[in-house]
Amino acid sequence: MRDSGSDGRLTVWEVYQYFYCPRKLYFIRKLGLYPAQPKKVTFGGEEHERERERARRRKEIYGLLREEIQEMLEDVSLEDEELVGKADTVLRLKNGELVPVEIKDSDLGFVSRAWRKQLVAYSVLLEKKFGTRVRHAILCLLPSKKVFKIEIEEAEKRELLRDLERMRRVIKGDDLPPPTSSEKCGYCEVAKFCKRV
């Protein structure tokens, strides 16, 4: 999902892109080369909606017992002076805790760094909006429905500010960041731009 960063603020979507590969942020934000959304993203969005509907009918919702959950918030707009985003799903637990949930269409068997950074960014924004500490996030992978409950550490939240500064340097600078691992290139929407450099 693309958030609007047109006012100069960075977006949670861009945090994900940067940690997938810094070159993506360079091409997208520095050069304005927004790639077409792949069919997988459109399918993933539709499947995400179906998964949210299925979750409402289960005894467990993203690995948590229904009795633990007070409400399921959807499409939560979040922002502060540096960052904007929209969390697809946030669980408000009966103990007062907020838990951001990210659903991804992937057969990857672990939590990637880019997904983790995205969830940390949502956690920081949720804390600012609701004034409550976010301790956990959930990543649900489709089609396997594998669920990861991720502890969000305070050090990671502090590191996000340094991450945003590094991202701004990429946008303001003229140097193309070094490429990331080549195995990611086969799935990257901006690979066609990289190959020309």
Determine the pLDDT at residue 157: 97
pLDDT tens profile 136-157 = 999 999 888 899 999 999 999 9
Q: What is the pTM of this model?
A: 0.88
Question: By CB neighbour count within 10 A (0-12 exposed, 13-18 middle, 19+ buried), where does 180 fall?
Answer: middle
- Greater pLDDT, 2 or 79: 79
**DSSP SS3 for 103:** strand
Which residue is listed with tokens 């004034």? Answer: 131
What token pair was written down for 32? 């304005």
pLDDT tens profile 6-44 = 577 999 999 999 999 999 999 889 888 877 665 555 445
Determine the pLDDT at residue 108: 85
What the chain holds in terms of domains, given with CATH numbers, is 10-188 (3.90.320.10)
pLDDT tens profile 55-92 = 777 788 899 999 999 999 999 999 999 999 999 999 99
User: Do 93 and 68 form a contact (C-beta atoms < 8 A)?
Assistant: yes
For residue 22, cis peptide bond before it (omega within 30 degrees of 0):
no
Determine the pLDDT at residue 1: 42
**DSSP SS3 for 70:** strand
pLDDT tens profile 161-197 = 999 999 999 999 988 888 777 777 777 887 777 776 6
pLDDT tens profile 92-108 = 999 999 999 999 988 88
